[in-house]
Amino acid sequence: MNDLVTLHAPLAGALTAAVRRVLDSGWFILGREVAAFEEAFAAYCGVPHAVGVGNGTDAIELALAGVGAGRGSRVALAANAGGYGTTAVLALGAEPVYVDVDEATATMDPACLDRAGRDGGFDAVLVTHLYGRLADMAALRAVADRHGAAVVEDCAQAHGATRAGRRAGAWGDAAAFSFYPTKNLGALGDAGAVVTADAGVAGRVRRLRQYGWDRKYHQADGPARNSRMDELQAAVLGVKLPHLDDWNARRARVAARYAATVRHPALTLPHVAAGEHVAHLYVLRAADRAARDALAAHLRAAGVPHDVHYPVPDHRQPVHGGRFDALTLPVTERLCAQVLSVPCHPALGDDDVDRVTAALDAFRGAEVTTCTA
């Protein structure tokens, strides 16, 4: 699904020099590399503050804490985004409030959020820009405002996605990024960041990522933790950030090539609007679970990499011990049964895309089903 060796090959010299620079500095945690990357990444996102943290899930948790969520808070979120938001919400001691998604975009449905606000209410909203597509932030923000709730964006799949000149991360009260190696901007290990326009939120996240300290050995805030971006990862990310837009453009061309070439009548292709969608994943839909599973088996036999993002919705995960058994999220549940991802990354050549297309169009297992969308 990814080829990080090919992606990094042209940068080997610059990456090695960056690692060497850190080695020679003798300084490995929260130094000038992290400060420089925080400044560069905040500028890229078009917000004044970025705070480097250990990974994307910590970034979600710290961003939520930064906007005031904590033990007992009700956090609205979608249930089709891989469970990372749920992990963060549960770690906070907060309560997940699952909201259904829009059929066409697979991101949080503003009408469903409004209903959740009128039903049990919520204190904060976590919006995931799933697969690389910016959610409908204007509408979601309006609903959140109406219910007096803060908004946190999960931008782990949407680095650089832009609508009306405004980037992912610049819409909420705070936003979380992951730099897991396969993300659109990835480190050579774990890393994450919280970005925000609010100096107070940034200050709180800076304290909470490091023992609650406001200065060395002074524990001013909590509950805190240790979740810091390290100097090596910051130096690596500083080398890679200038390439992000080019890589996103290549991802968009891969998506466009699939759109122009896949002809299978029983597969629904995603609408990848260049700019607003940075093609983190290219996610097809089959008619139903049986067709999706047959397609996966067909691709496996053809040697074509594929995956399901994601097979089990959050409210059906065993971690809840059946607490959400009575909850039904029809669109989320349908999408989880239908989705299948095929390779979409910047190191993919046109020939690679065409091989995937040929394998998709050769799929015969779905002829008894029909396309619904």
Ligand X SMILES: *Cc1c(COP(=O)(O)O)cnc(C)c1O
Positions touching ligand X (CB under 6 A) are 55-57, 81-82, 84, 128, 154, 156-157, 178, 180, 190, 192
CA distance 267 to 284: 7
- Residue 183 a catalytic site member: yes
Cβ contact 149:124 at 8 Å? yes
Nearer to ligand X, 55 or 332 (CB): 55
Nearest to 341 by CA among 288, 289, 299, 313: 299
Smallest gap from residue 371 Cβ to ligand X (A): 27
Q: Rounded distance, CA 338 to CA 346, Å?
A: 25
Strand ranges (E), 155-255: 162-163, 166-167, 174-178, 192-196, 213-215, 218-219
Q: Which residue is nearest to ligand X (CB)?
A: 56
Nearer to ligand X, 156 or 348 (CB): 156
- Please give the DSSP secondary-structure letter assigned to residue 132: G
In 3D, which of 147, 152, 143, 129 has the Cα closest to residue 80? Answer: 129
Q: Which residue of the set 133, 167, 183, 225 is catalytic? A: 183
Between 234 and 294, CB nearer to ligand X = 234
Helix (H) or strand (E) run with residue 99 in it: strand 95-99
Nearer to ligand X, 56 or 160 (CB): 56
Give min distance, CB of 175 to ligand X, in A. Answer: 11
CB of 24 to ligand X, least distance (A): 28
* Shortest separation between residue 176's beta carbon and ligand X, angstroms: 7
C-beta separation of 372 from 313 below 8 A: no
- Of 190 and 357, the one with the shorter C-beta distance to ligand X is 190
Asked if residue 310 has a cis previous peptide bond (ω within 30° of 0), the answer is yes
Quickly tell me which residue has 């998709």 as its tokens: 360
Query: Longest C-alpha distance within the chain, in Å?
Result: 67
* Distance, CA of 102 to chain centre: 17
Q: Which of 210, 108, 205 is nearest to 149 (CA)?
A: 108
Give the residue with the Cβ less far from ligand X, 48 or 305. Answer: 305
| Cβ at position 78, least distance to ligand X in Å | 10
Residue 283, strand partner residues: 341
Active-site annotation, residues:
183
